[in-house]
Amino acid sequence: MSTSEQASTSDTGTSERVLRLHVWGSHATLPTLDPTSLYAAALLHATFTHNEQVRIQLASASTSLARVPLLQVLDEHSETVQLIDSVDEIRSFCTSAGLDAAVAADAEKAAKQTALHALLDDQLLDLTLHSLFSLPSNYRTVTTPAYSAVGGVRPLTSSNPLAKLAALPAAFQPSIPARLRNVVEARLTAAGLWGLGGKEVAMQSSESDDLAARAGIVPTKKRGLGASAKQATRDEFERSKLINRARDVLDVVSAALPSSPALCMLDAPEPSSVDAHVLAYLAPLVFAQPKLPIDALPRLIESSYPTLAAYLATVRERLFPARATWVSPSDVQSSPPVLAGTQASSSLLSYFWPFDSSSKASDFAPPPTGTDTRSHARPTAPSSAPRPARPNGAPSQSPEDRRLRWGRALWICSALVGLVGYTFASGIVSVQFVDSDSLDDDDDDYDEEEEEGEDDEDEDDEGDDDGGWQVQGEDDEDDELDELDLEGDDDDDDEY
C-alpha cells in the first residue's frame, strides 16, 4: 500500500489505523531520550493528534530490528500493511497526510524550513549526541538508564525471585546503549567532537585517585599543576569551544522563533516538521531526568536563550500533552513488524545469512568507485516533497545493514571452521590415510592366512578320523571274523 493510499484512507475515515512507532528506550519526562526517535514521535503527534481514526502507539525497540525508528502501520485487523524505517520517509508520510501545509503555501517560508532542517541535522544533532554519549558522566547517569529502559512493561506483582529474574530481559536491555555508543563514536570522531570536553581516561584516572585517597595512599607531590588540574583546565577549554559552536546554531534557531507565543516556528499556526525537529534535538538536553551532570548546553539555553527555553516547553505541551501510549513487549510479539503475507525474518538462517528469498547478490555489492558515499556518513536534509513508497512497503537495507549481515555470516562460518579444526587437532577424531597398494597386500595376506587355516582344519579332521572312536558296522564284523579264521588255519598248519 502506497503512502497516497494510506493518506486517502485516513481522509475518508473508513477504517481505523494504528501507527506503532518502535523507538530506543523510554523516559519519564519525554517519550524517549533518543533524538531521532523523538523526532519521529513528534512528527506523528503533530500530524495525527486530532485524527480520531488514527491511534499512535510507542514500542521499545529491540536489537533484532535492522533500523530504528521504525514505523509500523496496522489496519483494523492488527495486520501490518506498511513499514517505514527512515525518519525522512516518516516525515514524507506525515507531509502527505497534511503536515506543513501552511508553510508549503509560502515559498519563502518553505525555503527557510528546508535550510533549518539541514542546519539541525548537520550541526545540532552532533552536539546533542555529544552531550549524551561522549561525556562519561552523562552517559552513565542519564543515557544508559534511558536507552536500556523498556516502555509498556507491566509491574510484576509476584514476589518470587525467579519470576523477577525471568522478567529482567523484558524490562531492561543493557546492550543497547553500548552498541549505540560505538556508532555515535564513529560519527562524532569524523566530526571532531568525540571526547571533546571530557574523556573516559580522565574519568578513570579521577576514580583511581579517589580510591587511592580512600585507601590512605598519598600521591607524590608534583611541581606546578597536577595531572587532574591540567585535565580539568583542558576540559573547560574544550567545553568553551563546544559552547561557541552551539551558539552559532542556536542563534539561527532563535531568529526563526515565532513572534507570538501562540504561534509556532516560522509563524505557523500549528506545529510543523521544523517544530518537531527543534524539540527533538534540544528536549533531551533540557528536559532530561535526572539532570545531566555536565550541563553546559542546558545552562547555555536557559541563561542566554530564555525565549527558546519557553518555546521548547510550549511545543512539548502541545505535542505531548499526556503520557505516551506504550505497547508491551508481549503485544509486540503478537503483531511483529512484518508485512502481512510475507515470511518473518526472525529465523536462525535469516539472522546471519546475508541473502533472503527476495534479495540478490548484486544488491549487496559495494557501490561503484565513482559513487559519492558521503551521504551515508551524515544525514541529509529531508525533502519537503513526499517520496514515492517502495513496493509492498518493505523497508530498505542501508549499506551498514548489509555490512553487518555479511560480517555476521563470516563470523558464523569462521566459528564453524574453528570448531571443526579444533576437533581434529585435539585428537577427538583421528583420520588415517593408507595407500591403496598396502591395502591390496593386506588383503592377499589375509586370504593366505585363511587358506592356511582351512588346511590345518582338514589335517585335524583326518587325525581325528585315525585315532578316534568309529562306529562298527556288519561288514566290518564279517571282515574281522574272516581274518580270525585265516589266522586259525595258519596255526593248524604249523602244528603238523
| Tens-digit pLDDT string for the chain (496 aa) | 444 444 444 444 457 899 999 999 899 899 999 999 999 999 999 999 889 999 999 999 988 888 999 999 999 888 999 999 999 999 999 999 999 999 999 999 999 999 999 999 999 999 999 999 999 999 999 999 999 988 876 554 555 555 444 444 445 577 889 999 999 999 999 999 998 877 655 555 555 556 566 666 655 555 555 556 777 777 778 888 899 999 999 999 999 998 888 889 988 999 999 999 999 999 999 999 999 999 999 999 999 999 999 999 999 999 999 888 899 888 888 888 887 655 444 444 444 444 444 444 444 344 443 344 333 344 433 333 334 444 444 555 566 667 777 887 888 888 888 888 888 777 777 766 666 666 566 666 666 666 666 656 555 555 555 544 454 555 656 666 666 665 555 555 554 4
> Is residue 321 domain-resident?
yes
> Is residue 287 domain-resident?
yes
> Is residue 460 domain-resident?
no
Distance separating alpha carbons of residues 359 and 332, to the nearest angstrom: 26
> Is residue 22 domain-resident?
yes
Give me the number of domains the chain comprises.
Answer: 1
> Is residue 127 domain-resident?
yes
Q: Look at residue 388 and give its three-state secondary structure.
A: coil
Strands 54-60 and 80-84: unpaired
> Is residue 37 domain-resident?
yes
DSSP class of residue 379?
P
DSSP string spanning 238-290? HHHHHHHHHHHHHHHHHHTS-SSTTS-GGG-SS--HHHHHHHHHHHHHHS-SS
Distance separating alpha carbons of residues 373 and 49, to the nearest angstrom: 37
> Is residue 204 domain-resident?
yes
C-alpha grid cell for residue 35? 533524538
**Residue-number span of the structural domain to which 244 is assigned:** 17-155+173-218+227-334
> Is residue 163 domain-resident?
no
